Amino acid sequence: MRENKDGNDINSLNSSESSSQSFLELLQNRLSDYIMKLFRHSKKEVGIIVDGPNLLRKVNGKRISLKEIRKKAEKFGRVSIAVALLSPDAPSSLIKALSNSGFEPRVVPVGDIHVAMAVEVMRLLKEEAIDVIIIGSRDSRCLPILQKIKSEGAIAVIMGFEPGFSVSLKNAADEIIELKPKEMKNLE
C-alpha cells in the first residue's frame, strides 16, 4: 500500500477524487441542460403529426386550411416539427402545398399511417425536446398514441373536425383543437 506524507492511501484518494469529480461533472451537465431547457425559449416546443388521409381530405366540397393548422398550433408554442403522413395516392399538389406550408410530407404504405404516427411520436418523445404534441386526426385508432404522449409527461393535443371527430380522442386529450373545413379552390 502506498501512502502519502499524511499517511493516507494514495489509491483510495485517487478513486474517491475521480468519483466525486465525475459526479460533479454529471451534476453540472444536468443543471446546464435543465437551465437551457428553461430559458431557450419563452414558449413551449410544439410538434405536429398529421394523419393526412383522415384530416386533409375534402368533406362535402370543403377542406382544412394548412395555414389554419399551423396558426392554431402556434397558440401552444413554437412549432419546431410538423410532419404530415400521407398515403401513396396523395396528389403531388398536396405534397407541394404541405412543403410550402412548412410541413414535412412523408408517404407511407397503405394501412400503415397509424403505425408511422406512433413511431414518429416515440421519436419526438425520446429524441427531441418537445413539450406539446399535436395529433391531427379524427380516428379513434390514435387513442393509444395520445395516452402514450400523456404518460411520457408531454401535453397531448388532438386536432380534428366534424363529422366523425372521435369522442374518445376528445376525452383523452389534454387540449382539443376544432378545425372548420372551408370552401377553398387551392390547397393552402
Asked if residue 146 has pLDDT above 90, the reply is yes
Residue 30 sits in the same domain as residue 49: no
Torsion on CA atoms 48, 49, 54, 55, rounded to nearest 10: 20
Across the range 20-34, mean pLDDT stands at: 74
Q: Which three cell numbers stand for residue 150?
A: 400523456
The answer to the question of residue 183 being in a domain is no
Across the range 100-128, mean pLDDT stands at: 87
Across the range 124-145, mean pLDDT stands at: 89
Distance CA 107, CA 93 (A): 14
What is the CATH classification number for the domain harbouring 146? 3.40.50.1010
Distance CA 85, CA 66 (A): 14
Q: Whole domain around residue 16: which residue ranges?
A: 1-38
Distance CA 25, CA 128 (A): 23
Residue 53 sits in the same domain as residue 117: yes
State which of 21-30, 66-75, 179-188 shows the largest mean pLDDT: 66-75
Residue 61 sits in the same domain as residue 121: yes
Going by the DSSP 8-state scheme, the letter that residue 5 receives in this structure is T
The answer to the question of residue 108 being in a domain is yes
Termini Cα distance of the chain? 77
Residue 101 sits in the same domain as residue 16: no
The answer to the question of residue 185 being in a domain is no
Q: What is the pLDDT of residue 42?
A: 56
Residue 8 sits in the same domain as residue 87: no
Residue 63 sits in the same domain as residue 134: yes
Residue 94 sits in the same domain as residue 143: yes
Total domains in the fold of the chain: 2
Residue 69 sits in the same domain as residue 137: yes
The answer to the question of residue 28 being in a domain is yes
Residue 24 sits in the same domain as residue 49: no
Distance CA 10, CA 22 (A): 18
Asked if residue 134 has pLDDT above 90, the reply is yes
- Let me know if 143 is exposed, middle or buried by CB neighbors in 10 A (0-12, 13-18, 19+): middle
Residue 95 sits in the same domain as residue 142: yes
Within its chain, how far is the Cα of 116 from the centroid?
13
Q: What is the pLDDT of residue 164?
A: 84
Between 121 and 17, whose confidence is greater?
121
The answer to the question of residue 127 being in a domain is yes
Asked if residue 29 has pLDDT above 90, the reply is no
Q: Which three cell numbers stand for residue 46?
A: 410544439
Residue 160 sits in the same domain as residue 76: yes
Share of the chain above pLDDT 90, in %: 30
The answer to the question of residue 187 being in a domain is no
Q: What is the pLDDT of residue 159?
A: 92
Q: Which three cell numbers stand for residue 132?
A: 406539446
